[in-house]
């Protein structure tokens, strides 16, 4: 953490650094008496005595680290409306199932006959994900959403190559797509062409048709888009791309908006990825682990990454085995994917069932629209229409009063809420992208809406309070550019005194 202020200057007793609490001679543990022959210490020249280590009692160490842990913000403590990230509550039973010794201790190199249960679970999960998405085959090998995207566009590339049609190099991406989409397409060697959105937040169909020429490899479409909207012309969009000989990739990271309502396969998508760590229950944030399974329709199924799990009743070593699809793009990681995340998704799907999964999307969409209804008079909306799982506001009105989206996000911290995603999607000025998720109660949504409304009022009446926020957090406004460029991640010893 880099900050303008030295954290020691904030020192109340519980904010002092560990080193500052050191008292010479104090100790937290006592080693047992030696019960093996003593060995002489190494050459004294190899020993250092200038390393200032803190000397503390055990309770002081416990308090220090417990206090630090309490500074953490998490979905298990507070509301976390970070748009596009689906920071929802994940039932603990899913973690418990993933921690069962048979799941957690299985060695990735165990022979298939010793891992039939795990393979069966993976096979079933492939089937469930295909059922939920309307696709025909799945690979669980990819380890994140963005990696699922990369695998998906590599499959599109391999498909065109397999037909001696490798001149197709253009990947169309609407300007309302998730930022990882153009990055994945570029990594796979495609030329990215952006398609603008129309005033209602849909893709501009005329621009799409114009761009869909003979060099078209495909289209990557985030559904719902990062405006939190369903693409209402989706059938025409897929039709136009297919007509030009391209394939359609679907970014299904936010499938909590669609579960049980619409299937990617029915809409015309050829390949999609799903974020198990968003929609299907794995606590995430802080970088992992995740899983971004790829699901393909009939044309792209042969190109799925390896391995996939197949059922084969005729072998003697058990019914389930790992297989490589015939024209596979190959392996995308070590072993067979993030197994613990797969187990959590399986447990989540089995405990909710079809009806429960449909209720997920109903509640996710209802909650976002409830916030939209409560906030629409005091904030500008990115688009005036029903939203899906998230609502994108613009702080344009507040900006005219001298309060930016960033200031509002910081002020929310004073009210005890994590900030929403900010300044994304890029096509909305002063964007505040709010995803309440399906697991929040009406009381929590109301408390958040009340905070947003009172910040809108402050922006009008006492803008400085918002501009200088946060006021109640342990550190105030950080120099974010410096924090990103010169992150200070390691404690370094410094002389005492
Ligand atoms: C989160 C997200 C991704 C990327 O997923 P990671 O697992 O973070 O790589 C891609 N697309 C959308 C729409 C997302 O919300």
CATH number of residue 379's parent domain: 3.90.1150.10
- Domain co-membership, 298 together with 395: no
329 lies in the same domain as 406 = no
- Find the residues whose C-beta lies inside 6 A of ligand 1: 84, 144-146, 178, 180, 222, 251, 253-254, 275, 290, 292
- Pocket test of ligand 1: the residue of 177, 178, 220, 435 to mutate, having most ligand atoms within 8 Å of its CB, is 178
147 in a structural domain: yes
496 CB burial (10 A radius; 0-12, 13-18, 19+): exposed
- What's 339's domain CATH number? 3.40.640.10
Which atom of ligand 1 is least distant from the CA of 222?
13
> What is the Cα–Cα distance from 111 to 368, expressed in whole angstroms?
47
- CB of 317 within 8 A of CB of 310? no
**Which of 306, 329, 351 marks a domain boundary?**
351
Q: Are 460 and 401 in the same domain?
A: yes
Q: 321 alpha carbon to ligand 1 midpoint, in Å?
A: 30
Q: Which helix (H) or strand (E) holds 248?
A: strand 247-252
What gap in Å lies between CA 135 and CA 139, rounded to an integer? Answer: 11
- In this predicted structure, what is the pLDDT of residue 401? 95
Answer whether 422's CB lies under 8 Å from 84's CB: no
On whether residue 177 sits in a domain, the answer given is yes
Looking at the structure, do residues 283 and 311 belong to the same domain, yes or no? yes
Q: Are residues 201 and 306 in the same domain?
A: yes
Pair (308, 371) in one structural domain: no
Ligand 1 centroid vs 346 CA: distance in angstroms? Answer: 20
Strand partners, 421: 433
CA distance 292 to 305: 12
Q: Which two tokens stand for residue 93?
A: 């039973």
- The predicted pLDDT at position 2 comes to 38
- Residue 200 and residue 262 in one domain: yes
Q: Are 293 and 106 in contact (CB under 8 A)?
A: no
Q: Report yes or no on 493 lying in a domain.
A: no
Are 102 and 202 in a shared domain?
yes
Last residue of a domain, one of 351, 374, 399: 351
347 and 361 together in one domain: no
Q: Does residue 297 form part of some domain? A: yes
Asked, for residue 158, whether it belongs to a domain, the answer is: yes
How far does residue 153's CA lie from ligand 1's centre (Å)?
A: 15
Q: In total, how many domains does the chain have?
A: 2
Question: Which residue reads 């009008």 in tokens?
Answer: 460
Question: What residue numbers bound the domain in which 427 lies?
Answer: 354-485
Confidence (pLDDT) at 16: 64
Sign of CA dihedral 102, 355, 250, 267: positive
**Beta bridge partner(s), residue 273:** 251, 294
Phi/psi for 270 (5° steps) reads -100, -30
Looking at residue 7, its pLDDT comes to: 44
User: With contact defined as beta carbons under 8 Å apart, do 296 and 136 qualify?
Assistant: yes
> Of 334, 351, 368, at which residue does a domain stop?
351
The DSSP symbol for 21 reads G
Q: How far apart are CA 167 and CA 411, in angstroms?
A: 51
State residue 6's pLDDT score: 43
Residue 180 Cα to ligand 1 midpoint, Å, equals 7
Query: What tens-digit pLDDT sequence spans the chain (497 residues)?
Result: 333 444 433 445 555 677 778 899 999 888 899 999 998 888 888 888 777 788 999 999 998 888 888 878 889 899 999 999 999 999 999 999 999 999 999 999 999 999 999 999 999 999 999 999 999 999 999 999 999 999 999 999 999 999 999 999 999 999 999 999 999 999 999 999 999 999 999 999 999 999 999 999 999 999 999 999 999 999 999 999 999 999 999 999 999 999 999 999 999 999 999 999 999 998 887 667 899 999 999 999 999 999 999 998 776 667 999 999 999 999 999 999 999 999 999 999 999 999 999 999 999 999 999 999 999 999 999 999 999 999 999 999 999 999 999 999 999 999 999 999 999 999 999 999 999 999 999 999 999 999 999 999 999 999 999 999 999 987 888 888 898 898 888 766 665 54
Q: Which helix (H) or strand (E) holds 323?
A: strand 320-323
E strand spans, 253-319:
271-274, 294-296, 308-311
User: How many Å lie between the centroid of ligand 1 and the Cα of residue 486?
Assistant: 26
**pLDDT of res. 73:** 86
Q: Are residues 327 and 375 in the same domain?
A: no
Does residue 406 fall inside a structural domain?
yes
Has residue 38 been placed in a domain? no
Domain assignment present for residue 61? The answer is no
Specify the DSSP element, H or E, that contains 352: helix 339-375
Residue 343 and residue 363 in one domain? no
Edge-to-edge strands, sheet with 247-252: 137-139, 294-296, 271-274, 247-252, 216-222, 170-174, 191-195
Q: Are strands 170-174 and 191-195 parallel, antiparallel or unpaired?
A: parallel
Q: Is the domain of 179 the same as that of 315?
A: yes
- In this predicted structure, what is the pLDDT of residue 107? 95
Ligand 1, atom 15: closest residue by C-alpha: 84
Residue 8: what pLDDT?
39
Task: Look up the pTM and report it.
Answer: 0.89
């Amino acid at each position: 953490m880099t900050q303008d202020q030295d954290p020691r200057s904030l020192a109340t007793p519980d904010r002092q650094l560990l080193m500052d609490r050191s008292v010479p001679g104090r100790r937290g543990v006592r080693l047992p008496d030696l019960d093996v022959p003593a060995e002489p210490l190494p050459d004294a020249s190899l020993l250092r005595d200038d390393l200032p280590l803190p000397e503390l009692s055990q309770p002081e160490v416990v308090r220090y680290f417990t206090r630090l842990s309490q500074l953490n913000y998490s979905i298990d403590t507070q509301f976390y409306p970070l748009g596009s990230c689906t920071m929802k509550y994940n039932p603990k039973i899913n973690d418990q199932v993933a921690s069962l010794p048979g799941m957690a201790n299985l060695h990735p190199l165990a022979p298939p006959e010793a891992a039939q249960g795990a393979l069966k679970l993976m096979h079933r999960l492939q089937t469930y994900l295909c059922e939920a998405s309307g696709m025909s085959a799945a690979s669980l090998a990819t380890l994140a959403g963005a990696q699922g995207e990369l695998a998906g566009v590599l499959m599109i590339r391999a498909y065109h190559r397999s037909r001696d049609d490798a001149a197709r190099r253009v990947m169309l991406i609407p300007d309302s797509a998730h930022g990882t989409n153009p990055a994945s397409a570029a990594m796979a060697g495609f030329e990215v062409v952006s398609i603008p959105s129309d005033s209602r937040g849909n893709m501009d169909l005329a621009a799409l048709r114009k761009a869909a020429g003979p060099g078209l490899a495909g289209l990557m479409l985030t559904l719902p888009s990062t405006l939190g909207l369903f693409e209402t012309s989706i059938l025409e969009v897929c039709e136009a791309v297919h007509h030009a000989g391209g394939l359609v990739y679907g970014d299904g990271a936010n499938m909590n908006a669609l579960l049980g309502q619409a299937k990617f396969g029915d809409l015309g998508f050829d390949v999609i990825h799903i974020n198990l760590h968003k929609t299907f229950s794995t606590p995430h944030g802080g970088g992992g682990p995740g899983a971004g399974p790829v699901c393909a329709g009939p044309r792209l199924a042969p190109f799925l990454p390896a391995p996939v799990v197949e059922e084969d009743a005729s072998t003697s070593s058990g019914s389930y085995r790992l297989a490589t699809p015939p024209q596979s793009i190959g392996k995308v990681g070590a072993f067979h994917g993030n197994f613990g995340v797969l187990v959590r998704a399986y447990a989540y799907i089995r405990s909710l069932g079809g009806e429960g999964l449909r209720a997920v999307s109903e509640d996710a969409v209802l909650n976002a629209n409830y916030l939209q209804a409560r906030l629409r008079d005091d904030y500008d909306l990115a688009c005036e229409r029903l939203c899906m799982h998230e609502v994108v506001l613009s702080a344009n009105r507040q900006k005219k009063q001298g309060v930016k989206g960033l200031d509002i996000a910081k002020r929310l911290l004073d009210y005890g809420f994590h900030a929403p995603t900010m300044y994304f999607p890029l096509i909305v000025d002063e964007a505040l992208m709010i995803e309440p998720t399906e697991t929040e109660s009406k009381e929590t949504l109301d408390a958040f809406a009340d905070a947003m409304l009172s910040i809108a009022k402050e922006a009008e009446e006492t803008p400085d309070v918002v501009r200088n926020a946060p006021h109640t957090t342990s550190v105030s406004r950080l120099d974010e550019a410096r924090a990103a460029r010169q992150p200070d991640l390691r404690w370094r010893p410094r002389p005492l005194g």
